[in-house]
Structure 1
Amino acid sequence: MANEPESLILPLLREIRGEIGKTSERLEEVERKLDKLESGQKTIRQALTADTMMSKFVTGDFEERIFELERKVEALTKGQ
């Protein structure tokens, strides 16, 4: 009687339930890791955006200074 299909069903279902529990724990761990990676990528994207904006600001400031110097040199050369 111990080998009859009815006596194997409950242990099999318990084993399946245990495996499902392990799988859901693994999925939760993977989700946590993915969230952490996405957060890191977002931080990197924000840093790159800030760096790009700062570069544009510095370049713009530099171009303004060059323009002013060119204007002064032109005024000096016209004055001679």
Structure 2
Amino acid sequence: MPEPEDMVMPMLREMRAEMRESFASAQRRFDGVDERLDRIEEAQKNFRHALTADTMMSRLVTGDFEERIKALEAKVDDLMKAR
């Protein structure tokens, strides 16, 4: 049986090789996660842009409606004054 001092270096080399292999496989898994997160972030960005566009359209329609009501109110006021 070899002396314990002679076994330390081979064991450390073996542990180092196992760690490298483990880190490499973890990195491959993380690469897939990064791609999925990028797709999710892109979808969220598109959703935010759609919400912004919808909000702007709603404000435009509401503003146009309010202007038309003000014009009608002004006409009614003019008719009431003409009486």
TM beyond 0.5 = yes
Q: Tell me how far 1:6 sits from its aligned partner.
A: 3.6
TM-score by length of 2: 0.80
2:49 maps to 46
After the TM superposition, list the runs of 4 or more consecutive aligned residues in structure 1 that deviate by more than 2 angstroms: 3-14
Q: Any gaps of 5 or more consecutive residues in structure 2? A: none
1:27 is aligned to 2:51:
no
Whole-Å Cα distance in 2 between the matches of residues 7 and 69 of structure 1? 92
Identity fraction in percent: 43
Specify which structure has the bigger relative contact order, considering alpha-carbon pairs within 8 angstroms and separated by 6 or more residues.
Answer: 1
Task: Find the aligned partners of 1:46 and 1:9 in 2 and give their Cα distance.
Answer: 54
User: Mind listing any 5+ residue stretches in structure 1 that lack a counterpart?
Assistant: none
1:1-80 to structure 2, matched below 5 A, reads 1=2, 4-80=7-83
Give CA-to-partner distance per residue, 1:18-45, whole Å, 9 cap, x none. 1111111111112111111111111111
